[in-house]
Each structure stands twice: as C-alpha cells, then as structure tokens.
Structure 1
Amino acid sequence: MKIHISLLLCAVLFPLILFAQMVAINNPSFETGDGAAVEGWTLSGTQGGAGESRPYHGFRSLWITGDGAKGSSSWWHSSALDVEPGKAYILSFHSRRDLSSSDGHALSGTNLFNVNLKDLTDKWQPYRLVVFMPQSSESQQLRFGQFESKARLSFDAVRLARAQAVHRRYGAVELGLGERIIGDRYNFAPPMAEHHTIYFRPLRYFDGRFDHDRCIFADNGRLEFEHSIAEHTIQSANLYLWTTHQGSGDLLVEVCRDDRRWVSLGHAEPGQKKALALPDSLFPAKSLCVRMSASTEPNAAIVLSGYRLEAALDGEPVYGAGDTRYFEVQRAEAGVEMAVDCPGLFDPSQARKGITLKAMKQGRELSGDL
C-alpha cells in the first residue's frame, strides 16, 4: 500500500505528525488528585506535588524539589506503560524551573531512558524526546525528577506516541544521523550526546539503560548495530569503542556478515577509542553486524559512551552526510510497519515530490484502502 501526498511545505514541517495517537497515560496533565497528591503518579523521595501556580495547561502542573545534596535524586513515576519493547516513541512535555537556585538539573524520560534537562528557565519550554524502549522484560514507566537540585522543577502536558524515522537519501543510498560517506569511505558514530537518544538507522537491538549521552549495561545487556549501504559492499572496516567499567565485568564484541555466523573479536578494553581488529575473512560483505554483550557482577555496569565504525566501500562514490527526522504515527495492527519517503524534509528544492507512505507486514507491501 502506497500513499502519495503532495505537500509543498513538507521540508519545514518538523516534527511531522501523521495520524497521531497517544499511548494511554494516566493523568497526563496532572489535573486529577487530592491536594498535593497526583492520581496515577508516585513520588520517590523528597518533596513534590501538583500545584496551581502558573500551570502550562489546565489548572495544575507537576512539581518536585530536592535538597541539593551531592549525588541526590528523586522523581515522580507513572504507572506501567503499554508500550512495545524494541520500538521508539516520541515523548513530548513542557517544563520550567524557578530561579531560587541554579544548582542541579531536571530528569526526564523513563526508568530505563533518561535525558537531563540543563537549560530550564522560569518560562515553560517544550521538549520532545525520541525514547527507545529497550528489549527488556522490566516494566517501563515515565519518570520526571531532579538531580542535586534545590530549585522547584515543574512539568506539564505529557504525551507519548510511537515514532517513525525518515532518513536522508542520496539516490538509493539511505543515511541517517551519525552516518557519512565521502567517496568510498563510510563512517558511523552515533551522536548520543547531541541528540540524547540511541535510536539511529543502524540500530538493530538494545537491552540496557540509556542515560542522556551513554548506554549502561548490566549483566546480559546487549547492543547491536547493522551497517548496510544500498548498492555498495563493505571491503574492510575498523571499529573503535569508548567504554568504562563500574565494578567487575566484561564487554564481549562479536561481528558477523551476511551469513550471520558470529565471529568473536574478544573483550573490549576499557578506555577511550580502543580499536578492535576485524578479520579479513569477513569481507567483502553486503552488511556487517556488530554485537556488544555485557557480563557483569551484581551491582556492576559497563558504560558505552562512544562507538565508531569506519569502512571502505565498493560501488559508486557518494558524498553526503546523513540526517533523520522523527514523527509521530498511529500504531497500526500487529506486525504492520510504515516506511516514509519525503525528500523535501532534507532538501527544500525537492518539496514538490511530496510524501510517500508505504505499509508493510511481514516484509510484504500491503494493498487496499488506508
């Protein structure tokens, strides 16, 4: 099923919202409750409530404050979310802080995906996070809180919807955020610090915690990237990791090519930009998968703050940097995925090409009325 929409202004629509349907959140604007109590939300530590002073939407907003002690944190958390592990969602909300104290910062996201808000002012500001739900059996909840702050931090108008990514194209070649090709040289380094997410085009699997600009793995945590460039084969590659160990543990790194036979590269050495050699027997490859698996003692963790894959390609030279736009989309029936093409989002001169939507199920394109 394909739908073509002629949208001359699609290049400037960000975020682009199609058929948006929010995930059910109990009391998303914090209007319901008795006094400082907030129905559907639970406070963990320090002070907080729902106040009527300067709400963004409705009559009340959520607030929290801490004692400013070093390393201290507290938060409000929602009831369990009805979300699908391994999928990305867009979390939208507004936040502000009073100016009684400039220390600390606000926390936002979920219990497994945190983004720090360090630029709050006393005026309401909109925030839009691309939250990836880890492939974990752990229940996931929204979380809004504070870290080392004595200021009063406020939140309001929360919404959560499934996310769809659209990546930049150079002919048949699709490149997302963090990807770049110069001639026959491909590079991918996930810009976690710039975009505060792990949801990038090469992502294949993630089971861990994301904390603002890094991935944190406890025992059995795992991260996988798959590198595939249309109409090109990978002739050779270099892999670099930035990791630290919090306690005792190891990070096993494995790679595989098209035939899915995993080859161990050994354990990643802690430190900055540590290289791991990829054997020549892997190449040439139409796709290259990298799997990082943690094995730790209880209460220990391995932190991944950087990843870079550099590869030599065979095929027509390409010169371009990747980009990605995320928009909200209605959750379709089970197994249905959407593919979107909108050249004008990245190049205004191509805006007249409009938007093409494609619905797929089990790898097959659907047909019929939408």
Structure 2
Amino acid sequence: MKTLAPGTTTTSLALAVVCGAASALAAIPPIPNRDFREGDQAPAAWKLVGNGRWVDREVLEVTGTGSDSSYWRCDYRFEPARLYRFRVRARRLSGSGIAVTGPVFANRDVYRLSKDWQWAESLFRVPDRLFETYLRLGQWHATGAIQFDSVALTPVLAVHRRIGPLVLGEGESIHEGEYLFSANFDHRGGNYHRPLFWADAWFNSNRWLFGRGTRIVYRFALPGCRFVRGDVDLSVNYHSRGRCRLEVSR
C-alpha cells in the first residue's frame, strides 16, 4: 500500500486496552456464581466434565493423569464481535502441565502456575458467529491438581495511536512508503488486531483454529493511500485434513 510523503515513516504501535467506564461501554451480564460459593451439592451454574471436585464450597479443582482433559464449564452469552478481558485466580497444587482458561472459542493456555494464588488474564474478540458460548476452567494433559478461586469478565476498548490522519495498531507499520501488517498473536490482545474485520474461526492462545466453512477477514485501508501491490505470507501449524483457501480482493 502506498504512499506517504517522501521520508515519512511510522513504527509499529502497541495495542492499548482500557477497561472502559460505564459511559464508554455498555454493561455486560455478570458471570453466574463468579466466586463459586453458591450451590448445594455442586457449585451453582458450573458443571464438571472429567475429574475434579468442589473444594470447601469455594474452589474449583481439576485433576489430570497426563493424557486426559477435565474442566468446569459455565454457560455465558457473549456479544458477537465484542472485545472482552477475562481474568481467573488460579494455582497448581501438584504436578505439571497446562491449565486451560477462558471462553471455549478463545482459550488461553496458562503454563506458569505455582502453589501461590495468582491472576491470569486473556483478552479476545468474540467471533461474529457463535455456536457454543461457555467459559471453561480446566487442564489439558496435565498431571496433579489445579485450582481456581474466582473469575471476572470486563468489556474493553482497543485504543490505537493516531499520527496525523493515520491510525495504526499492533503489528502495523509504515516504512519508506510501504505498509506492513505482521500479526503477533502472542501480544496482549490475543486474536484482535485493528484490521480484523470479520471472523468465525476459533482461537487458541496464539493461533487461529479453522474448521469446515470458517473464515477470517482482514480489511486494510489508510486515508490518502491506495493499494498498488502486495505480498501475503501465512503458516499452517497442526492440521489433520482439509484445505485452506486464501482470497485477496480490492
């Protein structure tokens, strides 16, 4: 994409996320039983899949053998295409392996848990089409026990830096008249980047997950610039079958 005035350059800009004030963001429904203290024989609104237990009527625990998965789930209705921040307080009592956290469509793997309680968070954009919408706290091929104490969900706004007429976000830069978008999915914003226009694919920690018929759409446009030519690079990680198609138009 061309062209700024000769010699004009900008650098890649980070995505800043603001937990919005009520005046800026519409309220969202609370997570049911977010501190896990409600319920009789089981925590209200939360269901165990696999091995685990409700500890002292206030902590959710999952256990693993190293070759299985188990999790607690809670149904929740997300707003399509909206940005959220999810936080969970967790610790590892024993063993090793991965804790899985967040919505099922935007999982965040958590590796560095100790015996001390700590907060882990993830930021994500909700798919434009939703088929399953629940929160999940669990383990994937872990050994020992992992515990969760409370959760929180907040709507957020992405704030990008403006330089003159240009607005650029994480992964975007302009150098010597050429525009570059290099997506970093390990950044704080997860699956969200400013050019992301539409998506119904799921996301896991640092990668898109494509199934039959799912797609993502990035739209690139800068005021005063027109698209002349471009190059696209992508990588395919684990896959089992099927085809991936890339389409470019202007």
TM-score by length of 1: 0.59
Structure number with the bigger relative contact order (C-alpha 8 A, sep ≥ 6) is 2
Equivalent in the alignment of 2:52: 47
Equivalent in the alignment of 2:7: none
Q: What is the aligned counterpart of 2:90 among 87, 90, 95?
A: 95
Equivalent in the alignment of 1:62: 60
C-alpha deviation, 1:114, in angstroms: 0.7
Question: What secondary structure does 1:63 align onto?
Answer: strand
Q: How far apart in 1 are the matches of 2:242 and 2:98?
A: 30
TM-score by length of 2: 0.85
Find out whether 1:83 has 2:78 as its counterpart. yes
Equivalent in the alignment of 1:163: 156
- The one-letter code sitting in structure 2 at the alignment partner of 1:243 is V
Unaligned runs of 5+ in 1: 1-12, 53-58, 258-370
C-alpha deviation, 1:230, in angstroms: 2.5
Contact kept in structure 1, 2:17 and 2:156, CA below 8 Å: no
For 1:228-259, what per-residue CA distance to the aligned partner results, in whole angstroms no more than 9, with x for missing partners?
123322322111110146233111211221xx
Find out whether 1:219 has 2:217 as its counterpart. no
C-alpha deviation, 1:14, in angstroms: 6.7
Unaligned runs of 5+ in 2: 1-15
Q: What is the aligned counterpart of 1:131 among 94, 99, 124?
A: 124
Find out whether 1:187 has 2:180 as its counterpart. yes
Q: How far apart in 2 are the matches of 1:238 and 1:139?
A: 35
Question: What secondary structure does 1:40 align onto?
Answer: coil
Contact kept in structure 2, 1:190 and 1:198, CA below 8 Å: no
Equivalent in the alignment of 1:256: 249
Q: How far apart in 2 are the matches of 1:23 and 1:92?
A: 15
- The one-letter code sitting in structure 1 at the alignment partner of 2:35 is S
Q: How far apart in 2 are the matches of 1:62 and 1:39?
A: 12
C-alpha deviation, 1:166, in angstroms: 0.5
Q: What is the aligned counterpart of 2:133 among 134, 140, 143?
A: 140
Find out whether 1:199 has 2:195 as its counterpart. no
Q: How far apart in 2 are the matches of 1:97 and 1:27?
A: 22
Q: How far apart in 1 are the matches of 2:19 and 2:128?
A: 26
Q: How far apart in 2 are the matches of 1:14 and 1:63?
A: 31
Q: How far apart in 2 are the matches of 1:163 and 1:110?
A: 16
Structure 1 or 2: larger strand share?
Answer: 1
- The one-letter code sitting in structure 1 at the alignment partner of 2:122 is L
Question: What secondary structure does 2:186 align onto?
Answer: helix
Q: How far apart in 1 are the matches of 2:176 and 2:162?
A: 15
Percent identity over the alignment? 28
Contact kept in structure 2, 1:113 and 1:210, CA below 8 Å: yes
Q: Measured at CA, do residues 120 and 196 of structure 1 come closer, stay the same or move farther in structure 2, by a change above 3 Å?
A: farther
Contact kept in structure 2, 1:23 and 1:161, CA below 8 Å: no
C-alpha deviation, 1:195, in angstroms: 3.2
Q: How far apart in 1 are the matches of 2:175 and 2:85?
A: 32
C-alpha deviation, 1:22, in angstroms: 4.2
Q: What is the aligned counterpart of 1:18 among 21, 35, 40?
A: 21
Structure 1 or 2: larger helix share?
Answer: 1
Equivalent in the alignment of 1:33: 39
Q: Measured at CA, do residues 22 and 124 of structure 1 come closer, stay the same or move farther in structure 2, by a change above 3 Å?
A: farther
Equivalent in the alignment of 1:301: none
C-alpha deviation, 1:34, in angstroms: 2.6
Q: How far apart in 2 are the matches of 1:60 and 1:129?
A: 23
For 1:79-130, what per-residue CA distance to the aligned partner results, in whole angstroms no more than 9, with x for missing partners?
2x222122221112222212x22x2110001121111001112222222311
Q: Measured at CA, do residues 16 and 84 of structure 1 come closer, stay the same or move farther in structure 2, by a change above 3 Å?
A: closer
Contact kept in structure 2, 1:23 and 1:159, CA below 8 Å: no
After superposition, the CA RMSD in angstroms is: 2.1
Q: How far apart in 2 are the matches of 1:124 and 1:179?
A: 36
Contact kept in structure 2, 1:64 and 1:75, CA below 8 Å: yes
Question: What secondary structure does 1:228 align onto?
Answer: coil
Q: How far apart in 2 are the matches of 1:243 and 1:169?
A: 33
- The one-letter code sitting in structure 1 at the alignment partner of 2:37 is E
Q: Measured at CA, do residues 192 and 167 of structure 1 come closer, stay the same or move farther in structure 2, by a change above 3 Å?
A: same
- The one-letter code sitting in structure 1 at the alignment partner of 2:80 is P
